[in-house]
Structure 1
């Protein structure tokens, strides 16, 4: 239910402060060189292409590295060859990727995960759908035929287990008709639905329809008297419904809505301490435009601390969002003022190349980094990099080199 609401609210459901997307602007080699432990989840699972081949090539050479193969592997896939090395002697562990052969020093393990439904799940879907025609495709031929035969023994519909390339013709003589719902009571309000007037909408729906289920379009019609599929109108209408105590989704069919009972509304309107999960969802919703990396909670002080790589570079507008968050939740929220020095060092090495950096120093009081290079870059390029560093981190960058005495800031 919580995951579904995140999706409905437009919040990214798969990422949080611990799980982040590797975006095109992020350099993979810098992530590989992270001093802290990092786990990469990448495709393809057979190591036949995509970012997984890059990570596998780098991690395979690390004695403290670990590669977990999680899915089915074709006989000729590099992932299968990697698994074959589990029993190989240390001097014989070589993997070929992208035409290049290299030694494998890392640990290797096969973990049984699958994105496919198992037999019971497939049977459950077929039973719920009660379809007239069921066609089994995509899988081992013997498994498909055995499963189809087993289900056909107790299923009234037509079961097909076709050969690869075989064509099946299905005649739909009596297609299902779309049921037209009668909605005799409509408010026909001109103003938009809001927190201020949704209570009146709830009273109207409860009086005339009780807990009847409605789609979003139907509720919009009951409010405005307008039949619309315009997302610009429906999206803000849905957001009001998502953030109110007066309506709720059906637990199994979240595209349907119903008016809540008065006693449940009264309980929710009582001042309750938000759970950590609710606070986390609220942070994701209100601070999605700010690149925070970590959330820390203090139940004793009823406070939250957001951790950023570069807190000194944050826009001051975040203070307004802090105040709004406190007003809505009763919890204070602050920033961890400590910079992520590893992230800053990675940025600097990315500017000049790992081989060209002799040493990096930082001065907390002055909020300044100093980098000594083996070879000096052009002055204009250095100035641009210093400006970029200041913009992204809020700290000054001073560049010197072994073959020059002048500083560039």
Structure 2
């Protein structure tokens, strides 16, 4: 693959070369539920035939985008048929016109479960042909499509006999794996793995008749492999097929996305810490100024941080300053009282300051009982109260015992 050529476009080029340019060909990759698939790849032939660019259709429903008269039913028959035989129907163009297209669907199946992706090959046919008449299967189309996929997509396909010996080995992905197509023919894959049981478990399961999937890092690339068992006419295991996809780009994007999410979480934590800082305003006196809307989740996080700070700094008082709080609800008020009780259990005293008039009215309306909580008008008054109480405690400690 050269330049910025898309995989599905490259595969389309291979199919066009096999069929000739007389009949325009559209190669479309779709994913999800194949009864109503989502467009995941769009070739140049599809753009020429239907008028849509790839940017316009990627992520859209295939049925909603291309279905003309009777088109949705034809696409559903394709999904139910599964034989790869073409079905003709009228398909919609971007300009609103319709064109008769013979569609063939080739599911990409892994194991015994339903396929999650498929390649749709659409060939423009003459307008005079009935849209409802099923077309005869074109000989060799499946082989031509497979050849195009192997030559242009970053995959490696292998077939093995019941002993694990390669009988087929091909695909463009062999370049990144450091081998040539067919180089491993006649080799035993289990012997290549040697004593590495972790690396060979997927193939061993497939040879035993069970499908498997594995992700590994080889030759500096990330590979995702599906192992599919092959059965003979009597249903007994008779070898296996492996389909390996070079998932390095997707893996790198996943790593980058996780890194971004971690960065966002760290930034959110910094923002939360800045919005509710714990400040030691006096010896053994901590204050926690709160700003904005305080919800139960934020209060839960603040409680953990505040209780840890009380223990680490051996604080006697914790002032909860609500001057900047705009509103509270029932859960918030309940968490606030629980925080005061938790502070008291640590041998300290919680003092609430700066309750606004509207917040006070809300608490009364909600029936919040703050009778057991010390409240003062503002932070300055709260700090003075703490200083007076600590001074009184020291004086009581110096008084002679009679």
Whether TM exceeds 0.5 here: the answer is no
| Pairwise TM-score range, normalised by the shorter structure | under 0.3
More strand by share: 2
Q: Which has the larger radius of gyration?
A: 2
TM-score relative to the length of structure 1: 0.25
TM-score relative to the length of structure 2: 0.26
